[in-house]
Amino acid sequence: MSLTAETTDYIVVGSGCTGAIAAQTLVEAGAKVLMLDVGKQDNKYKPLIPDKDFLTIRETDQQQYRYLLGENFEAIPWGNIKTGTHLTPPRQFMLDLVDRYLQVDSENFSPLESLAYGGLGNGWGVGCYVFSKPELEKIGLDKIKMMSAYKTVSARIGISGAKDDASPYTIGELDNYQAEFEIDANAKSIYKRYLKKKQTLNKKDFFLGKPALAILTKDLGERKKIAYNDMEFYSDRDQSAYRPWITVEELKKHPNFTYISDSLVTEFTENSDRVRVKAINTNTNEKVSYTSKKLLLASGVLGTARIVLRSFQSEDKQLPLLCNPYGYIPCLQPTMLGREIERHKMGFAQLSLFHDPNQQNFDIAMASIYSYRSLMLFRLIKESPLNFVDGRIFMKYFLSGIVVMGIHHPETSSNGKYLHLNRSETAITGDKLKINYQLSDLEKQTITQKENDYIWAMQTLGCYALKRVNPGYGSSIHYAGTLPFNEQNTAYTLAPTGRLNGTHSVYVADGSGFKYLPAKGLTFSLMANAHLVAESALTE
Ligand SMILES: Cc1cc2nc3c(=O)[nH]c(=O)nc-3n(C[C@H](O)[C@H](O)[C@H](O)COP(=O)(O)OP(=O)(O)OC[C@H]3O[C@@H](n4cnc5c(N)ncnc54)[C@H](O)[C@@H]3O)c2cc1C
């Protein structure tokens, strides 16, 4: 059965970081906005999690196994480490319905996509980075407009940052950020050693400091400042970490805004003054359509590629794909072994270590340094060669000295990285995204060399690498570049305003236009760009 429903000024597809920010800009300008989303939510674990810190929960809550280990042992990854194995049980709803509606066929690329209310932003590590001028130029973005957009987004979501050796790479010229957050004992010890060894490290182009994070150190509206209870990857109770659903909940109070969940947008068609959006109701499988003056796609880079390729009926059309190569290296800081586990700490990245060989804030590598506890505990015990009881005792002693370094590398487009849409009889949508991702030998060598450099830097900081873990291509969860910005009116590209070339009313607010991916996390820049795209859609 096919239904024709709502008509509105603007349709925004997706409630993730980009959809939420774009919709907010439209609504604040007085536009009538309809957000279409699949919008899965967690109703299972959320009510079970007490408002207590991780250690108190471990000591007192009889129900803890249900959300820490998961009722189906979701916290213990079986088989190889792959993209998304670090999602906690209360975040696994982010993956609901993905196998059903977002089918991928690939031998060498394993993406993480989400059909959740708030998208991947339910699980993001909240790392925010202002891109430098040369980085923005290579991406295809305007530096002056982006600086102003970064400030707008920072005021909306709340970012805490610090002035230190890393700030040119983190907050850059941003001036409206909150006071820095507290780091834990592991990170303090590393930072102290950095100050002693600074000259040696700087001479080799390494710079260490605190990351800028979308967490509050001061209350913002109804959101509370961080409580350092180390439960940030399990619960959003105090809303101290920014999640896009927080923005959408605010928008729902506005008469100009309508949110419709359970709607999987499949394609659009345009006529002279309207765009028609077709969707499937994911509960009933009914086909529904909506019309609006303008459409903003914010369905995640891979999701948007599907919608655009279907709408242009372009099977076999290859689109380029960018994804930061990523790997991590667990390290041991021997001076911290056997220390008492802290109660007052948080789970996000504690420090950022940048390697900038040209000293131009361009084509740098970035490592985030975590002292995982709540997130990794069960996995580490499982990986231990000892039996569970001995492993648990051993880990109690060992855990205080474990540091995990996640390294992101910059990413440029090349022939071996692309996707296209294949017909599929078995898929509900009738198609699968076929992805091929191969790095050149030179890219692989550069990554290995960079990891060696980082292992040296960590050793200088008193941390010794235990092993290298390669979670496979796609695991950075930073995707971009499928519809690259282009000032000519070329098909399958975006105008600098975010308008899809070849259309007059379809805009793309996610990272599809980015022609380059710096190693720094992209999401703050995605949100700033989404704000600018929404402004263009209002005025063009
Ligand atoms: C564990 C983890 C840690 C991360 N850490 C960081 C970090 O520290 N820093 C950083 O910069 N980035 C980080 N990221 C990446 C960051 O989460 C993403 O870049 C960002 O959330 C992407 O936002 P988006 O709005 O473009 O897309 P998404 O979050 O993918 O949102 C897409 C939205 O569209 C909806 N949707 C999709 N297809 C359709 C359709 N056909 N019809 C209707 N609705 C649809 C979905 O329901 C969803 O609401 C991390 C990601 C993860 C998972």
From ligand 1's centre to the CA of 145, what distance in Å?
23
- Among 95, 138, 166, smallest CA distance to 525 is for 138
- Among 372, 421, 422, smallest CA distance to 401 is for 372
From ligand 1's centre to the CA of 116, what distance in Å?
9
Distance CA 68, CA 70 (A): 6
Atom of ligand 1 nearest to the CA of 20: 25
* Domain residue limits, the chain: 2-97+112-539
Q: Where are the alpha helices (DSSP H) in 315-376?
A: none
- Among 501, 504, 503, 506, smallest CA distance to 10 is for 506
Q: Are 352 and 211 in contact (CB under 8 A)?
A: yes
Pocket probe for ligand 1: among 13, 346, 477, the residue whose CB has the most ligand atoms within 8 Å is 477
475 lines ligand 1 (CB under 6 A): no
498 lines ligand 1 (CB under 6 A): no
φ, ψ at 288 (rounded to 5°): -130, 150
Distance CA 34, CA 7 (A): 9
From ligand 1's centre to the CA of 56, what distance in Å?
32
pLDDT of 6 reads 61
From ligand 1's centre to the CA of 295, what distance in Å?
19
Atom of ligand 1 nearest to the CA of 115: 47
Whether the CA torsion 490, 496, 501, 504 is positive or negative: it is negative
pLDDT of 80 reads 65
Helices (H) and strands (E) in the chain, counts: 13, 23
pLDDT of 397 reads 82
Q: What is the pLDDT along the chain (540 residues), one digit of tens a residue?
A: 444 556 789 999 999 999 999 999 999 999 999 999 999 999 899 999 999 999 999 999 999 999 998 998 888 777 666 667 678 899 999 999 999 999 999 999 999 999 999 999 999 999 999 999 999 999 999 999 999 999 999 999 999 999 999 999 999 999 999 999 999 999 999 999 999 999 999 999 999 999 999 999 999 999 999 999 999 999 999 999 999 999 999 999 999 999 999 999 999 999 988 999 999 999 999 999 999 999 999 999 999 999 999 999 987 899 999 999 999 898 999 999 989 888 999 999 999 999 999 999 999 999 999 987 766 666 666 667 778 788 778 777 888 899 999 999 999 999 999 999 999 999 999 999 999 999 999 999 999 999 999 999 999 999 999 888 888 999 999 999 999 999 998 999 999 999 999 999 999 999 999 999 999 999 999 999 999 999 999 999
368 lines ligand 1 (CB under 6 A): no
- DSSP E strands, 282-376: 287-297, 319-320, 322-323, 326-332, 351-355, 365-370
Q: Counting Cβ atoms within 10 Å, is residue 224 exposed (0-12), middle (13-18) or buried (19+)?
A: middle
299 lines ligand 1 (CB under 6 A): yes
CATH architecture of 2-97+112-539: 3-Layer(bba) Sandwich (3.50)
Written as six digits, the tokens of 489 are 């009116």
123 lines ligand 1 (CB under 6 A): yes
14 lines ligand 1 (CB under 6 A): yes
Of all protein residues, the one whose alpha carbon is nearest to atom 52 of ligand 1 is 124
Atom of ligand 1 nearest to the CA of 304: 38
b/e code 90-117 from CB counts within 10 Å (16+ = b): bbbbbbbbbeebbbbebeebbbbbbbbb
